[in-house]
Chains A and B, each alone.
Chain A
Amino acid sequence: MTATLRSLLRHETILAILLVIVLAALATQSDRFFTTANLLNQGRLMAEVGLVALAMTFVIVTGGIDLSVGSILGLTAILLGVFWHNLGMPLPVAMVLAVVAAGIGGLVNGVIITRFKVPPLIATLATLALYRGLAEGISQARSVRGYPDWFFVLGQGDVWGVPTQLWILGVLVIVAGVILGLTTFGRATYAAGANETGARFSGISVDRTKLLIYTASGLVAGLAGVIFVSRVSTTRSDMGTGLELDVITAVVLGGTSIFGGRGTIIGTVLGLILMQALKNGLALSGVKGDGTIVVIGLVLILAIVASNLFSREGDG
């Protein structure tokens, strides 16, 4: 194994060990936790956050952040309902159009950030409000129900015994992992995050890279929105509120540096599973919701501190 791979895996290794400990501890606390049914159901619940976290890993590796993903998810859900129910489009067309709209939302973020040089935190904080406002304005506080049965396969159905959205997540994990870890685009992402000027001076199209990443972030938030609607059988404008915080927690827990230049998809997946396991396991063990949040916060700090301690590099 090469030295870089080793150093990249260091945080992931710590995280994997932590995950095993947490799973073991939770399994002893409740006999309902470590059952196939429960685990698959948890997989179903974490798919939306997971999808968005994949794109968020890219965003944060470039040194950026996308706070608008929850709002984009909500806007997509509303548009899906409006396109299908109010405008009478066929549902598949409505689904595609809603996801495209989400992609445009992400593209707008990217344009504001790259063209107008607005810091990503500010730009997406603004669009977080903007997209949520649009969703609420369009929905007029009405929810859309009555989707056809085939639509629920996406969010409530199984394929070969595993929730549909978990298959989608699995495929996208591999796609994202390959892109970030093995391709020229992944290299451009890391370089742009570690030293944007240096990347530009090396002939990397930093702006194009960022534009694509923010667009992708919007697209997966849209996809997650469609799955969300299918899972809960209804469309409401407040869907996805606060999603960005869960997503960012999973990514950062996974070892991606908020300053950019470092992070892996494997790490994000581990962070995601750890977070979901804690939420579910603690709930099953009778810990209240606020207690769970406290534990997740502590684990986040613990994981970062541990990885900082172990991965300190010599200056020789």
Chain B
Amino acid sequence: MQPILALDGVSKSFAGIHALKNVSFDVRPGEVHALMGENGAGKSTLIKVMAGVHAPDSGDIRVNGEKVRFASPREARAAGIATVYQELLLFPELSVAENIFLGHAPRTTLNALDWTQMRNEARRLLDDLDSHELDVDARVGSLSVANRQRVEIAKALSQDARVLIMDEPTAALADADARRLMDVVRRLRDRGVAIVYVSHRMPEIFALATRVTVLRDGAYVGTHDIGDITEAELVSMMVGRPVDQLFPKVDAEIGAPVLELRQVSYRDEVEDVSFTLRAGEIVGIAGLIGSGRTELALTIFGITPATSGEIRLDGKPIAITSPKQARDLGIAYVPEDRGLQGLIKTQTIRENLSLALLDRISTATIVNRARESSLARELIKRFGIRARGPEQRVRQLSGGNQQKVVLAKWVATEPRVLIMDEPTRGIDVGAKAEIHALMSRLASQGLAVLMISSELPEVLGMSDRVLVMNNGRIVAEFDRALATPDSVGAAMMQTQDLAEVA
């Protein structure tokens, strides 16, 4: 079948940096064409070229075989190409129907808004997406992320989209919602919509896609029918080399206790938590969101100082009342929200890397710029941060590279204890494996690591010991050998009554 949208030899560069080099891509009606690649591989740029946000420097775009040139996203939409971006672009204060028809609402003969038709049409579109329970008059701000996404898809379809581009649509969704979304995608595919699907989640790609195209460093790597390729092959196409074991945990020598908590509480968010963390050990904390895992980390790091209990470092009782104090004691925290808590995104890599150790690279409070720059260059090299140089702004980096900056910044302070909160959330497979390898190497050098993660395979794969939190308490502890998805999962899901008995 003839492709409905085809790109041929498209290149695009920003300020002399090639974001896309001679990339070809096409999508046919009734197929899901997955687009994969690590962060920074050029997926976003390619999507934006298709959506008319960026004009290509060279190469052709064809719609139904005819050469086109989009001057704006509006023109691409008029040609039937709709995009659902990762960050949803809805107006929270408007209703569902208003959001769907914003900019192209049906009009009455008097050119006033035709509210009845608008609401009916919105209803029909949502019913089509199997979202019967979604009220067209509800304020979008009151909806869950999954529902907002459906509104966004309905909005795209309201303009007779023949090509639907979806940028990581399941990234922010829980499992059940993600499955429903995949049903919607299948339904649209069966109706003959051509779908470009970007995702990092392998199972989704294999469940949905007809074909898959891989980009790497802005260049086209290859296109395959999904039946002809395995997950491992796909991953190695993305990273450009065979990926070693997924969780490269090496056995480290476990030394003396470094951090000890005795009945530590913070209000009713962290209750009576006791555990010991030894040098060279990686202790994983599993638990549902809201189980008190992050709150525990914030208490140890002095953001929310403990309201009772005792924390010991190297056997000596300490009172941690501020992050500065925690840092000076050798406790580092790689936070959950790297954009807000981990980085100053408008500043350069150099400024971010030195922020937690300014005192050590300054004489009489004057920052030594030469030392700062050489430190930054060294860390960029050591942590494999892919950047133009120390003066690049952090917000221009991909998620994986941003995370490496946060990690590098804290490892540079030479901590005794490293707390990592969701260390690989939202980053691609390649960067993920690198961060796991780093974590393992740091532990083998004698660092005590406390890792919080919502990803059970990560917790089980990386930890020497697993603590399970539930309702602010530690409800179970497993050695590496005994920690299985079933045993840890069961402890995570325990109801409160059971937790109290345990």
Considering the complex, give the chain B residue whose CB is closest to the CB of A259: B346
A297 at the interface (CB under 8 A from B): no
**Cβ 8 A contact of B340, one of A185, A195, A205, A315:** A195
B343 at the interface (CB under 8 A from A): yes
Cβ of A256 to closest chain B Cβ, rounded Å: 14
Interface size on B, residues (CB 8 A): 41
When A183-B367, A197-B340, A316-B396 are in contact, do A4 and B333 touch as well, CB less than 8 Å? Answer: no
B253 at the interface (CB under 8 A from A): no
When A315-B396, A316-B396 are in contact, do A202 and B367 touch as well, CB less than 8 Å? Answer: no
B441 at the interface (CB under 8 A from A): no
A288 at the interface (CB under 8 A from B): no
Considering the complex, give the chain B residue whose CB is closest to the CB of A3: B391
- Listed stretches A110-118, A163-171, A186-194, A274-282; interface member: A186-194
**Cβ 8 A contact of B347, one of A178, A185, A191, A315:** A191
Are B324 and A203 interface neighbours, CB within 8 A? yes
A200 at the interface (CB under 8 A from B): yes
**Cβ 8 A contact of B303, one of A184, A194, A200:** A200
Task: Enumerate chain A residues within 8 angstroms of B350, measured Cβ to Cβ.
Answer: 4
Cβ of B135 to closest chain A Cβ, rounded Å: 35
Task: Enumerate chain A residues within 8 angstroms of B328, measured Cβ to Cβ.
Answer: 203
B208 at the interface (CB under 8 A from A): no
Task: Enumerate chain A residues within 8 angstroms of B342, measured Cβ to Cβ.
Answer: 198, 201
Cβ of A112 to closest chain B Cβ, rounded Å: 21
Cβ of A182 to closest chain B Cβ, rounded Å: 5
**Cβ 8 A contact of B341, one of A188, A198, A203, A315:** A198
Per the 8 Å Cβ criterion, residues 127-152 of A in contact with B are none
B263 at the interface (CB under 8 A from A): no
Considering the complex, give the chain A residue whose CB is closest to the CB of B48: A315
Cβ of B293 to closest chain A Cβ, rounded Å: 17
Alpha-carbon gap, A151 to B58, bound state (A): 73
Are B391 and A194 interface neighbours, CB within 8 A? no
Point out which of B344, B351, B359, B396 has the most chain A C-beta atoms below 10 A from its C-beta.
B344
A204 at the interface (CB under 8 A from B): yes
Per the 8 Å Cβ criterion, residues 24-47 of A in contact with B are none
* Chain B positions 52 through 78: 1 when the CB is less than 8 Å from some CB of chain A, otherwise 0: 000000000000000000000000000
Per the 8 Å Cβ criterion, residues 392-416 of B in contact with A are 392-393, 396, 409
B502 at the interface (CB under 8 A from A): no
Alpha-carbon gap, A194 to B343, bound state (A): 10
* Chain B positions 337 through 359: 1 when the CB is less than 8 Å from some CB of chain A, otherwise 0: 00011111111101100111011
Are A183 and B366 interface neighbours, CB within 8 A? yes
Point out which of A313, A314, A316 has the most chain B C-beta atoms below 10 A from its C-beta.
A316
Alpha-carbon gap, A199 to B346, bound state (A): 12
B487 at the interface (CB under 8 A from A): no
A86 at the interface (CB under 8 A from B): no
Cβ of B364 to closest chain A Cβ, rounded Å: 9
Considering the complex, give the chain A residue whose CB is closest to the CB of B301: A201
Considering the complex, give the chain A residue whose CB is closest to the CB of B326: A203
Are B396 and A183 interface neighbours, CB within 8 A? no
When A315-B396, A316-B14 are in contact, do A191 and B355 touch as well, CB less than 8 Å? Answer: yes
Are B367 and A182 interface neighbours, CB within 8 A? yes
B323 at the interface (CB under 8 A from A): yes
Cβ of B418 to closest chain A Cβ, rounded Å: 14
Task: Enumerate chain B residues within 8 angstroms of A184, measured Cβ to Cβ.
Answer: 358-359, 362, 365, 367
Per the 8 Å Cβ criterion, residues 266-316 of A in contact with B are 313-316
Cβ of A1 to closest chain B Cβ, rounded Å: 11
Cβ of A305 to closest chain B Cβ, rounded Å: 20
Cβ of B140 to closest chain A Cβ, rounded Å: 27
Considering the complex, give the chain B residue whose CB is closest to the CB of A262: B346
* Chain A positions 173 through 184: 1 when the CB is less than 8 Å from some CB of chain B, otherwise 0: 000001000111
B335 at the interface (CB under 8 A from A): yes
**Cβ 8 A contact of A195, one of B19, B333, B343:** B343
Per the 8 Å Cβ criterion, residues 297-348 of B in contact with A are 301, 303, 322-324, 326-328, 333, 335, 340-348
Alpha-carbon gap, A144 to B182, bound state (A): 80
B481 at the interface (CB under 8 A from A): no
Cβ of A193 to closest chain B Cβ, rounded Å: 9
B17 at the interface (CB under 8 A from A): yes
B15 at the interface (CB under 8 A from A): yes
Task: Enumerate chain B residues within 8 angstroms of A205, measured Cβ to Cβ.
Answer: 322, 324
When A187-B367, A203-B326, A203-B328 are in contact, do A194 and B333 touch as well, CB less than 8 Å? Answer: no
Considering the complex, give the chain A residue whose CB is closest to the CB of B340: A197
**Cβ 8 A contact of A187, one of B13, B322, B345, B351:** B351
When A187-B358, A191-B347 are in contact, do A201 and B367 touch as well, CB less than 8 Å? Answer: no
* Chain B positions 271 through 315: 1 when the CB is less than 8 Å from some CB of chain A, otherwise 0: 000000000000000000000000000000101000000000000
Alpha-carbon gap, A200 to B345, bound state (A): 14
Task: Enumerate chain B residues within 8 angstroms of A261, measured Cβ to Cβ.
Answer: 344, 346-347
Are A195 and B344 interface neighbours, CB within 8 A? yes
Task: Enumerate chain A residues within 8 angstroms of B367, measured Cβ to Cβ.
Answer: 182-184, 187
Cβ of A262 to closest chain B Cβ, rounded Å: 8
Are A197 and B341 interface neighbours, CB within 8 A? yes
Task: Enumerate chain A residues within 8 angstroms of B323, measured Cβ to Cβ.
Answer: 200-203
Are B345 and A202 interface neighbours, CB within 8 A? no
Are B327 and A203 interface neighbours, CB within 8 A? yes
Alpha-carbon gap, A190 to B362, bound state (A): 17
Are A315 and B14 interface neighbours, CB within 8 A? yes
Alpha-carbon gap, A316 to B366, bound state (A): 33
Are B346 and A201 interface neighbours, CB within 8 A? no
Alpha-carbon gap, A191 to B393, bound state (A): 14
Considering the complex, give the chain A residue whose CB is closest to the CB of B413: A203
Alpha-carbon gap, A30 to B298, bound state (A): 64
Alpha-carbon gap, A3 to B323, bound state (A): 31
Alpha-carbon gap, A190 to B346, bound state (A): 10
Are A198 and B343 interface neighbours, CB within 8 A? yes
Cβ of B91 to closest chain A Cβ, rounded Å: 23
When A182-B367, A191-B355, A203-B323 are in contact, do A4 and B341 touch as well, CB less than 8 Å? Answer: no
Cβ of A69 to closest chain B Cβ, rounded Å: 26
Given contacts A187-B358, A202-B355, A203-B326, 5 further A-B contacts (CB under 8 A): A4-B351, A183-B362, A191-B355, A201-B303, A314-B15
Name the 7 nearest CB pairs between A and B, nearest first: A316-B14, A203-B327, A3-B391, A314-B15, A203-B324, A184-B358, A201-B341
**A residues bordering B, Cβ < 8 Å?**
2-4, 178, 182-185, 187-188, 190-191, 194-195, 197-205, 261-262, 313-316
Chain A to chain B contacts (Cβ below 8 Å), 23 pairs: A4-B391, A183-B362, A183-B367, A184-B365, A190-B347, A195-B340, A195-B344, A198-B345, A201-B303, A201-B333, A202-B323, A202-B356, A203-B326, A203-B327, A203-B328, A204-B324, A204-B355, A205-B324, A261-B346, A314-B14, A315-B396, A316-B14, A316-B19
